[in-house]
Chains A and B, each alone.
Chain A
Amino acid sequence: MGEMEQMKKEAEALKTQIEAARKAVHDTDMASAAAGVAPAPQVQLKTRKTLKGHLAKIYAMHWSTDNRLMVSASQDGKLLIWDSHSGNKVNAVPLKSSWVMTCAYAPSGNLVASGGLDNMCTVYNLKTPVIKTVKELDAHTGYLSCARFLSDTEILTSSGDTTCALWDLETGKQKTVFLNHVGDCMCLSLSPDMNSFVSGACDSLAKLWDVRDGQCKQTFQGHTSDINAISFIPSGNAIITGSDDCTCKMYDIRADQEVICYQDAALNSGVTSLALSTSGRLIFAGYDDFNCNIWDSLKGEKVGVLSGHDNRVSCTGVPEDGMCVCTGSWDSFLKIWN
């Protein structure tokens, strides 16, 4: 038998082995296990602020760790830094390329980053007298879909070139490249302990990676279309994904499988974004149908909806203190709800 044939056979055998191992631990699913849990209260949140200022579709937003400032990115070619308590704009950062797809706030509050169809991740210092570009991270051969700072010296990116990368912000070079997806990487989420991260891609797979050694540890399947949004739950033991297949799913890391699917026959729009409340009980998922649906993460039931945008909800975010949820939309507005 040629080596190619042997490899194919071994690959098939390993896939069968993985499926059998998953089945062997599948003694229940999340919704059944949570049958005895009291339902989450019906959640009725009000719009507390509507942030007006962008002149075109908003593609991304990210909270600062101070729970007050946030950054948003729009294809009007600007990053805006907002004081969410007053609704005022604190800073505007003009972008070299207006085709922005992502933005991020560093945990220190000193830096923000943006990137998009320019294939680059640009990092800006907010604390210099005039906002300065400190680095242009240029090595991806596809669009930048997501960026997240680990610190003022390291940032993770995901790209349409199917890779993710960890960059050293002092040298501007890639330290580690994460190779395994076969479709555009659309989103990433860092684990609470920052030792690993998960990525979602157009190959409909989510993958768990070790930040330091670059190794893909686990692959989660089940979605039937692009995964656009991904987030660790606060305990770090599970992840939530949102997809163009109109569903969200929870995958448990230690059980290595899907444990619940959040879907509704009446929902036939793709999921664009998602964020979790601090206990992990509530999932806020933004959809193409202009709404943000609220799901009970344990029971799989819809418990509320945030309606108010006049176009697709493209981004959602809950600050660390969990005091509100922010939605950003192609209608050019951001709304703060609680």
Chain B
Amino acid sequence: MGAQKKGATARVSEDPEELARHPLQAILLADSFTTKFRPITLERPKVLLPLVNIPMINYTLAWLESAGVEEVFVFCCAHSKQVIDYLESSEWSSQPNFSVTTIESHNSISAGDALRLIYERNVIHGDFVLISGDTVSNMSLTQALQEHKDRRKKDANAIMTMVVKQAKPSPITQQSRLGTDELFMAINPVTKQLLYYEDKAEYSKGFISLDKTLIADNPSVILHNDKQDCYIDICSQEVLSLFTDNFDYQHLRRHFVKGLLVDDIMGYKIFTHEIHSSYAARIDNFRSYDTISKDIIQRWTYPFVPDVLCGSSAIKVERQGTYRASDVTLSRSAQLGSFIFIGQGTKIGNDTKISHSVIGERCTIGSNVTIEGSYIWNNVTIEDGCQLRNAIVCDGVILKSGAVLQPGVILSFKVVVGQQFVVPAYSKVSLLQQPTQQDSDEELEYADSTSGTGELRSDKLNGDIAPDLSETASELGTGGVGYIWKVFEGAYDEEWRHSVAPIPTDKLVKLMLDRDEDEELLTQDGNVISASGELKTDSDGNGSEDDDNEDSRDDYVSFEKEVEATFLRAVHENVKVDLAVLEVNALRLSYNMASVDCGGAIFYSMMKLAVESPHNSASELHRNAADIVTTWQKLLKSFLHDIDEEIEVILKFEEMCLESAKEFAALFPQILHLLYDKEILQEDAILRWADEKEGADESDKVFLKRSEKFIQWLREAEEEEEEEDE
């Protein structure tokens, strides 16, 4: 391994002419190893899905060709046969200076596996472009490549250059545009080295932690929340060998990039190249499918737009961004809005309204149909009076008259929706049944084995669809065919985020407000009013306590609050003591606290209640406290199993007297006596507390002094007892 790597290093660091002799190569992953495009991808690979009526992979290949790449290795795994067949029959197989070679695998489950396989084939001889087959771009590679090579000459450890792009400025649109998770990156502004990468935002954490050495090593680091990862990487050969070395690397970003940044493997470095005016984006989910389709129609991706890519004069661009194939049959009364695409051989009936949509080839659309923001692929039949909003409709689907697709609906191949049937929002409908076994860990997004079997099943299905017809008729209305996939719990929240439909405004506002709440929590982090009323942690930064401590204390603070709330509820609703005990116990388990903490927290709640109940004098306060203690002594007692826990209560009380409930300070000995009388505190506990306090500072002994008499009395009583015993 080591020898191989050395060889690679030596070769790449040779003079530029040597480098120039290698043709520029690219690895195109024709499998995204995710399940986000299901159910469609059960039947057709993602890279072949039409994007404004042209398979996605064509955009990627066309860009690679224009960017000067000479040799492309297309890695296919799921539905590999379809991809290979497509490429063989397409124009790409016969380009003079652009060779497309397919590499087939049946058992790869991740990008990592793919790169390991490619490494074994030993086909990559120099720097290469790593891209997935669902990327649309029109950037020029020249500059990025040059930067990469220059860096390599200076530093052989600079093995990868990632292309990033400024995202939209508003914090909301950053997330909503491509439906991707928010991304945090730290980049050295001078060297452009990538120092930190976090894409799966850990929502629980309101902060980013940067390693201190990172900050010490780089006098200036820019943290970005406003960049978008284009998933176009210029890599050196080492990247492949690194994947082989680290056989556990699966995901390009989550494992490889993070691994390199965090584990500091052999000092390898990743750099970024920012593009400004050109376009680059990856279709990661239905939302980005929608966004990028619109960008293509609006020609941001020029020259990779339908009329140019098709080459022929078959598609004409008209005003308002209307793309129309030459032989569309259009009713005179049909109303076509702006930014639409209509493919060859499509017929559109009377009074049909279409806007912001893509309609594929040979579709038949009836009268009085409304289509807004939808993607209708080929050979789709839409009967009269249907309404479609923000839906994706795959090949061969039939919508019977009057069917309605609510926003976010995905209809996979050959689904039939019955008459007047309303498909609820965000439904995914397929002829294939939902794989019963959902990936338990969706985060990993491996394509599971079902993607392979799905292909088989679809073949079978194509053969005999008829038997299924009757069975599933009910699910999609009369005459409907297909299964509505269930949304898994937990995934439901994400549905709107990744959907083809625009994010509903209430969700957007909620997103904004949620963020606010997060902030509130965060502000509290820095400024917690603890239950004992003292102002905490503003000075924590100067570090008397370290963070672990802080965390556990924060836990305790919120635990105490919960206990207090429970207690108050018990008081106001006359909950039985047993039930209250149960509830507090449940809290204790969920916060992972000891029963010591429960005792303290309950006692604190009781005393706080006493202080907060109306009282005019100390004696009234004492009576309040006595009442409460009497009523709830059983609750308190059930958490005081031994002396230590009782001492904890005394300490808690002392703390309260000093801080939050100073009114009790005068009553300290009386309350102590009360607790003794009620047998909540044993005399042992009180005496041990007194002994412990004996050695403390003067200031700490205030309360000890006040209760001196009582303790004296206790001691005497004890001695008497002992004498009696004798």
- A and B form one complex: no
Using CB atoms and an 8 Å cutoff, list the residues of chain B in contact with chain A.
none
Using CB atoms and an 8 Å cutoff, list the residues of chain A in contact with chain B.
none
